[in-house]
Amino acid sequence: MSVWNPDNIRDVAESVGIANLNNDVADNLARDVEYRIAQVLEEALKFMRHGRRTVLTTQDISNALRVLDVEPLYGYESTRPLRFGEASLGPGQPLFYVEDEEVDFEKLINAPLPKIPREVTFTAHWLAVEGVQPSIPQNPTSAESRNLELVSKGPNANPTLAAMSGNQNVAVKPLVKHVLSKELQLYFEKVCNAFLDESSEEYRTSAYSSLREDPGLHQLVPYFVQFISEKVTHSLKDIFVLSQVMRMTEALILNKSLYVDPYVASLVPPVLTCLIGRQLGGNADLSEQFALRDFAASLIGLIAKKYSHASHTLKPRLARSCLKNFLDPAKPFGTHYGAIIGLHAVGGPDVVRELILPNLKPYEKLLRDAIAEDGPRRPEAEKVLGALLAVLSTLHEGRAHMANGHAAIVTDELREQLNEKVGELIAAKIAEAGDVQTAHAILGH
């Protein structure tokens, strides 16, 4: 027995021209109609539940019909619930219908036109390129980014750590809560004070040893990186501070327990500043300034060797920065010195052969004029000349020793060839030193 009335089946059959439908056929069709309606309702209820609604809509029925591969009903789509009215055709014969809303044409005509919808457009921009965020309107500015640094919060927060990112007077809620323990805050203060303590060499050595070897300092790495950057930015005239923060950088890199890879992009700028900066240490001795540049070059080489596997563009970017400063005649000789030893530290003899050697002939004239004028630039120019001879002497590394038959001294013919390749000044220095292997390596023999 079907819940669906078989008389409805007979009415539909008579409307399509089928009269005298068999009772068994009508019963079977009624049961099939009941099953199909239950199937549609079951699928429609799924759409309702997934839509997190409690009212079944005509859209749910249409979606259920599409899922069941049945052509949906048309003309019943509405965002509002339908209201059904009831009309009586006679005794016991009610007729249900959908009530239509009455529309006042005068109000409709006089109503203001709706705004024209904007066309759909799509734009794309880079959030970051190789870990570097481009300065475009869609990305936050450097000041906004600085305010979002993860700084300890709360009544026991370290004011030094807050001041490092400029948040001491700004109430900014960080994206991620990062609270340092009192022990780590105390350790950070002690280590930073020890590195900058000029009165005790033993104190500085202990801090360096601790930062280089102690495990469990992972939470402090971003704060040390920020400290290094701040000190280099604001202490360019203090050679002692610059030297000590470079030692701190070396300790962080050499600590095998620390994962410094995400912070390499932040460590490179202060090291490059100490390598190719214009004025370092103010009135400090020339030897101290160039010792700082030598140390920074060794750090650049260490960074390039240790972290180039994580970023395949690290070495090219370092070499590009150094080469740009080396080829700029407006830069002081101290910057040229740092660029030369930096290029060698990044890529070794191959970079010297490909980037420095082809540019030596025009650069040699600038160097020769500075040495000849016997002015204040001469000591720095002589340092640059020594750096050039030192990196050129590495060109024969890995090459086979000179075969029998080569002269043991730099002959006039060989010197003339060197003059054409690297200029008179450098050729004369190589000839005076009798460095035949370097001469042949320069000429590619």
CB distance 418 to 443 below 8 Å? yes
Structure tokens of 242?
Answer: 């610059």
User: Is residue 170 in a domain?
Assistant: no
Instruction: Judge if 198 and 340 occupy the same domain.
Output: yes
Instruction: Judge if 48 and 193 occupy the same domain.
Output: no
Burial label for 191, CB within 10 Å (0-12, 13-18, 19+), is: buried
Instruction: Judge if 195 and 322 occupy the same domain.
Output: yes
Give the whole-angstrom CA distance, residue 402 versus residue 144: 61
**pLDDT by residue for the chain (445 residues), tens digit each?**
678 888 888 888 888 888 888 888 888 998 999 999 999 999 999 999 999 999 998 889 989 999 998 887 776 666 666 677 888 777 767 777 777 778 888 888 898 988 888 888 888 888 877 777 777 877 777 666 555 554 455 545 555 555 544 554 444 454 555 678 888 899 999 999 999 988 888 999 999 999 999 988 888 999 999 999 999 999 888 999 999 999 999 999 999 998 898 899 899 999 999 999 888 877 778 889 999 999 999 999 999 999 888 788 899 999 999 999 999 989 999 999 999 999 999 988 899 889 988 888 888 888 888 888 877 888 888 999 999 999 988 887 655 554 444 545 767 788 788 888 888 888 888 888 877 888 888 887 6
Instruction: Judge if 68 and 212 occupy the same domain.
Output: no
Instruction: Judge if 198 and 334 occupy the same domain.
Output: yes
User: Is residue 433 in a domain?
Assistant: no
Count up the domains in the chain and report the number.
2
Give the whole-angstrom CA distance, residue 386 versus residue 78: 86
Instruction: Judge if 73 and 199 occupy the same domain.
Output: no
Last residue of a domain, one of 48, 78, 108: 78
CB distance 252 to 211 below 8 Å? yes
Instruction: Judge if 211 and 341 occupy the same domain.
Output: yes
Closest CA to 205 of 233, 166, 247: 247
User: Is residue 409 in a domain?
Assistant: no
Give the whole-angstrom CA distance, residue 187 versus residue 293: 29
User: Is residue 262 in a domain?
Assistant: yes
Instruction: Judge if 238 and 370 occupy the same domain.
Output: yes
Give the whole-angstrom CA distance, residue 189 versus residue 180: 12
Instruction: Judge if 194 and 68 occupy the same domain.
Output: no
User: Is residue 113 in a domain?
Assistant: no
**Domain with 15 in it: what CATH number?**
1.10.20.10
Last residue of a domain, one of 374, 407, 427: 374
Structure tokens of 240?
Answer: 């002692």
Which pTM value belongs to this model? 0.59
Structure tokens of 340?
Answer: 């030369």
User: Is residue 306 in a domain?
Assistant: yes
Instruction: Judge if 202 and 319 occupy the same domain.
Output: yes
Instruction: Judge if 73 and 194 occupy the same domain.
Output: no
Last residue of a domain, one of 374, 389, 410: 374
**Domain with 198 in it: what CATH number?**
1.25.40.770
Domain residues for the domain of 364 are 187-374
User: Is residue 5 in a domain?
Assistant: yes
User: Is residue 137 in a domain?
Assistant: no
